[in-house]
Amino acid sequence: MSKEEENDYIGQLILHWGQYNLGVWLLFNSKIGKFLECCCLRKVNEACEIEIMYLFNPEYRGN
């Protein structure tokens, strides 16, 4: 992804948060200084369906 594409994507995330109060969260472990996972709630259509997304860092699965 180019820097411009990254900036566009971040802008879309910020806009979505402002419109729907839904967005992306990163879970950070301050003891080890690493991100453990990312999760997201996103409105996907006019029927108010919400998409749930989560990504776990493979290094920390099962802990």
Residue 53 reports pLDDT greater than 80: yes
* Residue range(s) defining the domain that contains residue 54: 3-60
The pTM for the full model equals: 0.64
Burial pattern 20-36, b for ≥16 Cβ within 10 A else e, equals eeeeeeeeeeeeeeeeb
Give per-residue pLDDT as tens, 12-52. Answer: 999 999 999 999 998 998 999 988 899 999 998 888 899 99
Number of structural domains (the chain) is: 1
